[in-house]
Structure 1
Amino acid sequence: MKTKKMTVTQDQINEWKEKFGGVWELPIEDKTGYLKDPNMNDFKRAVTAMQKETEIAFGEEMLSALWIGGDTEIKTNDDYFLPAKKTLLDFFKYPDAVTNDLENRQTEILIGDERCVVRVITREDLRMCEKKNPQSKPFLSQEYLFDMVVTEKTEGFNNKNNPEIRFPLYQELEKLQNKKIGQLKKL
């Protein structure tokens, strides 16, 4: 059974941009889907689905959360869904943060035009964050950790739902916990 290709006009795309901000086109062969920019809540939903189920659940949840229109076969037909799921991983690619060591074991983190300073991260900080997140909800421990160690920040760091800031920030916090390199050697 052949289905009719959906046509989306520039007016519709402009409406979506007005409503959702960024709009992405996802062409898969002869079908096209349209997605909104992901936010941290969308990522949390998808990662939670993956933790509870499988990588397929991640793709289903991410596609469902971001979908704003297009040919629904991309969501329902495996021939279209499987390449779409793989393509969704591109949403995790954000520019790296820049870090600078400061006095008193502090680190400056620069992400685009935003800047923050964090103090050294301790084992006790990590322990407290884990206690605040007993269900291991995605990204929650990193949010708690940042709130504990930040000593100054620009306004952009207040938006906990902006993945363009949060993903590079969380990566840098992870790197700061592992500045020294360890390696097991079998003797």
Structure 2
Amino acid sequence: MTKEIKNLEQQIKDWKEKHGGVFELPVDDKTCYLRIPGMPDYQRAFTAMQDSGNSAFGEVMLEVLWLDGDKEIRTDNDYFTPAKKEVMKFLRYDDPIITDLPNRQKEIRIGDAVTVIRVITKEDVTMAERKNPGDKPFVTQNALYDLVKISADPVFDDKKNAAVRFPLFQAMEKIQNEKVAQLKKL
């Protein structure tokens, strides 16, 4: 084993200890290494997307997750465009399982983690929206969850854990939209 490969293996091990997860992203003859994203990273990327369009999401994600690699992936469009497309795969998480409970409560299961919420009212949504006057991504959803949570496994307390937060928000959205509405022009 060459010294260069040994050094890279040690570097990856160090990154894993520090960041919890590392991804290798090869783009043709170039490669970069990215850390696992958390909710603050997504918040920053979605804010950039709101301000500057869809391309800004991938650009910010590459910027904030970047650990090391060939700079052409960030600077050369021939490399950046496919890298940006791959970074979008970070948004794929386990689907939540929603179970009806008595008293209009819902159990939300994400992997082995479970939380129970009560019915979400329009007053809850209004109060959560008031806690987000700057309309920052995910602030309203976090506030809403805090309002309706009855019980939860400890993993739900980590607001930076995207692998739990994204499916949780997806489940809450689904619960709020159980009834179907359709506007018809008469």
Unaligned residue ranges in structure 1 (runs of 5+): 1-5
Backbone CA RMSD of aligned residues? 1.4
Moved more, 96-105 or 10-19: 10-19
Unaligned residue ranges in structure 2 (runs of 5+): none
Q: Which amino acid aligns with 1:145?
A: L
Structure 1 residue 109: Cα displacement: 0.6
Q: TM-score scaled to structure 2, two decimals?
A: 0.94
Structure 1 residue 96: Cα displacement: 0.5
Q: Distance in 2 between matches of 1:74 and 1:91?
A: 17
Q: Deviations over 1:88-132 (max 9, x none)?
A: 110000010111100000000111111111000001111111111
Q: TM-score scaled to structure 1, two decimals?
A: 0.93
Counterpart of 1:3 in structure 2 is none
How many residue pairs are counted as aligned between the two chains?
Answer: 182
Counterpart of 1:161 in structure 2 is 160
**1:134 and 2:133 aligned:** yes
Structure 1 residue 184: Cα displacement: 2.3
Structure 1 residue 59: Cα displacement: 1.4
Q: Distance in 2 between matches of 1:134 and 1:120?
A: 24
Counterpart of 1:118 in structure 2 is 117
Structure 1 residue 164: Cα displacement: 0.6
Q: Which amino acid aligns with 1:27?
A: P
**1:55 and 2:54 aligned:** yes
Between structures 1 and 2, the one with greater helix share: 2
Structure 1 residue 144: Cα displacement: 0.1
Q: Which amino acid aligns with 1:120?
A: V
Counterpart of 1:65 in structure 2 is 64
Structure 1 residue 181: Cα displacement: 0.9
Q: Which amino acid aligns with 2:33?
A: Y
SS in structure 2 opposite 1:56? helix
Q: Distance in 2 between matches of 1:71 and 1:134?
A: 40
Counterpart of 2:28 in structure 1 is 29
SS in structure 1 opposite 2:103? coil
Amino-acid identity (%): 53
**1:144 and 2:143 aligned:** yes
Q: Distance in 1 between matches of 2:14 and 2:134?
A: 39
Q: Which amino acid aligns with 2:38?
A: N
Structure 1 residue 185: Cα displacement: 2.9
Q: Distance in 1 between matches of 2:18 and 2:139?
A: 27
